[in-house]
A and B are shown apart, each in its own frame.
Chain A
Amino acid sequence: MIKFVKVRGESMAPTFADGDYLLITKARTFRSGFVVLVDHPKFGVIVKRVLSVTYTSVCLEGDGHHSTSLHSMKDVALENLKGRVRLAITPKGLKRL
C-alpha cells in the first residue's frame, strides 16, 4: 500500500517542514530511526521518528528541538503504526529516507 500525507507543523524540522508531502509505504517491521506515520489514540494522525522498539510497542520522538519524546505519554502500540515514510516531496525537491 502506498499513500501520500501532508505534514502540518514543525516538530520534525529540519527533516520535514510544514507543507511537505510524504510518501508512506506499509512496513512489516519497525526499527529505531524509522520515520513513521502513526494513528495515535489521543493525537490522531501524526508523523514521528521511532526512538526505541519493544515486542509490542514503540517510543516516538520528533526531530525538531522544540519537540520532546512521547515516551512519558505512554508508548504507542505497533498496531497504531500505519506505515513508514520513504520519501519527502518538498518545494526544493525530493528527500529520500
Chain B
Amino acid sequence: MLHSLISKFDSNIETADAHCDIPCGIYDARIVTYYAVSALRQIDILLSLKDKGLSETGFAMQVARNTAKKEEMAEKCKHQTRIIWGDFMKPKNQDDMAKCHDAAHAIMLAGSAVKQDLHREDGEKLVAAANAFAEIFWASKDVKTKKVTTPYAPNIEVVEPDL
C-alpha cells in the first residue's frame, strides 16, 4: 500500500541505478533467446486454453495471467536486446553494423507483435530474430555457435554458443 502511494509521486523521486550491465560487463545473448522462447511458450499456452474445459472464471483468470506473462516476456526480450545492442555491440565493419541493426530491429517489431496479438507466427518470428541476433553477438566474440532444440516446450531451435 505504501509502495503504491509513493509511486504516485514517481516523477519527483530520484532514481538510483542498480544495473548489472554497467559495472560487471557481462553480456550474453542467451538471455534474449530465453525470453523469446518464453514468450512463444505463453502464446502456445494461451492458444491451448480453450480445449482445457476450464470454467468461465478459470478461463478468464488463465487468459489474464498468461497474457500478462506473454507481454512481460516479449518486453524483456526487447529490453535485453536494447542493452546488448546499445552498450555492447561494436561490429567490426559496416556490413556487421547493418546486420546487427536489422536483427535488433526485427526483435523490436516481432516483440511488439507478440505483445499486441495472439499469433504463433509472431512468436516464431521473435525466436528467429533472437537467433539471428545471437549469431551476430557470438560472432563478434569470435565464439562459434550451434543450433539446438530446447529440451522443453515449445521444443524450438535456438542458437547457442558452442563453448
Contacts and interface: CB of A to CB of B under 8 A. Distances in A.
Interface of A: 3-12, 16, 18, 20-22, 37, 43-48, 62, 64, 66-68, 70, 73, 89-91, 94
B163 interface: no
Contact of B20 (A20, A43, A47, A67): A67
A51 to B, nearest CB: 12
Contact of A16 (B3, B18, B19, B23): B18
A67 B10 CA distance: 26
A8 B6 contact: no
27 contacts: A5-B14, A5-B15, A6-B10, A6-B13, A6-B15, A6-B16, A8-B17, A8-B19, A10-B18, A10-B20, A12-B18, A20-B3, A21-B3, A21-B13, A44-B17, A45-B15, A46-B16, A46-B17, A46-B19, A46-B22, A62-B20, A64-B18, A68-B25, A70-B23, A89-B3, A89-B6, A91-B4
Interface string B1-33: 011101100100111111110111110000000
Interface of B: 2-4, 6-7, 10, 13-20, 22-26
A81 B54 CA distance: 55
Contacts of B2: 89, 94
A9 B15 CA distance: 10
Given A11-B19, A21-B3, A89-B3, A6 B26 contact: no
